[in-house]
Amino acid sequence: MITGTPCVGKTSSARQLAAKLNAEYINLTDFAKTYNLTLGEDKERKTTIIDEEAMQQKLKETIDASASANIIVDGHYAAAVTPPSQVTNVFVLRRNPKELKAFMHKCGFSEAKMWENLSAEIIDSCLVEAVQIQPGKVCELDVTGKAVDENVAEIIEVLEKRKKCYVGIVDWLGMLEQEGILDEYLKT
């Protein structure tokens, strides 16, 4: 599983990883559209509301029915909707909020959405959810300033047990506080 805050770089790395491992690739944004796993639109937040229960069921069926030895699931809420019994490794991509802000401009978020997502990165939202729901499988990777192929190489090193991985490797809250710019980043 590849998870992390919106626009952190999940899909870029997950697609390359899937190609290298000859794995099946499931992008949850596309999966929700393909199987109509939505409950409607959140007008205020301008996002689609996912039917998490229906998605969990459909994912379980899809993974059970897959002939592939390896499946890569890509999505910022992937940890919450993929049955833990089917998950071996969870990679949470982390990006320094200062760099992520620039990426988010490329992703075309509104100002409000950008600050909401930056706050989520700063308070470790995806990481905490992953550790709660998929304990013992989580590997946090700081992808700040790294190219996609470097991220993929690091993931493969972990999968092949040539590299150990940890959680709690970044502290954006402390970093921004020390630099005196935390308030600016936590506005919503």
Ligand X SMILES: Nc1ncnc2c1ncn2[C@@H]1O[C@H](COP(=O)(O)OP(=O)(O)OP(=O)(O)O)[C@@H](O)[C@H]1O
**Which residues of this chain interact with ligand X, rule CB under 6 A?**
4, 6-12, 29, 76, 103, 106-107, 146-148
Q: How many C-beta neighbours within 10 Å does residue 158 have?
A: 15
Contact 90, 139 (CB under 8 A): yes
Binding segment for Mg ion (CB under 5 A), chosen from 4-12, 107-115, 161-169, 178-186, is 4-12
Closest CB to ligand X among 7 and 17? 7
Region for residue 90 given its phi and psi (left: phi exceeds 0; alpha: psi -120 to 50; beta: otherwise): beta
- Please say which residue, 10 or 95, places its beta carbon nearer to Mg ion: 10
Our CB check for ligand X shows the closer of 16 and 86 to be 16
Closest approach, Cβ 16 to ligand X, in A, equals 10
Binders of Mg ion in range 5-44 (CB under 5 A): 10-11
Question: How far is Cα 171 from Cα 184, in angstroms, rounded to an integer?
Answer: 17
Tell me how far, at minimum, the Cβ of 11 lies from Mg ion, in Å: 3
Q: Which is nearer to ligand X, 21 or 92 (CB)?
A: 92
- Distance between CA 47 and CA 41 in Å, rounded? 6
Q: How far is the CB of 27 from ligand X (least distance, A)?
A: 8
Q: How far is the CB of 68 from ligand X (least distance, A)?
A: 21
Q: How far apart, in whole angstroms, are the C-alpha atoms of residue 30 and residue 32?
A: 5
Q: Pick the piece of the chain touching Mg ion (CB under 5 A) from 2-10, 93-101, 126-134, 158-166.
A: 2-10
- The radius of gyration of the chain from alpha carbons, rounded to an integer in Å, stands at 16
- Pick the closer one to ligand X by CB: 137 or 146: 146
Distances (CA, A) of 92 to 60, 82, 151: 21, 14, 11
Nearest distance from residue 99's CB to Mg ion, in Å? 17
Alpha-carbon distance 80 to 1, whole Å? 11
Q: Which of 84, 31, 90, 85 is nearest to 62 (CA)?
A: 31
Q: Does 56 contact Mg ion by CB under 5 A? A: no
The residues that touch Mg ion, with contacts defined as CB under 5 A, are: 10-11
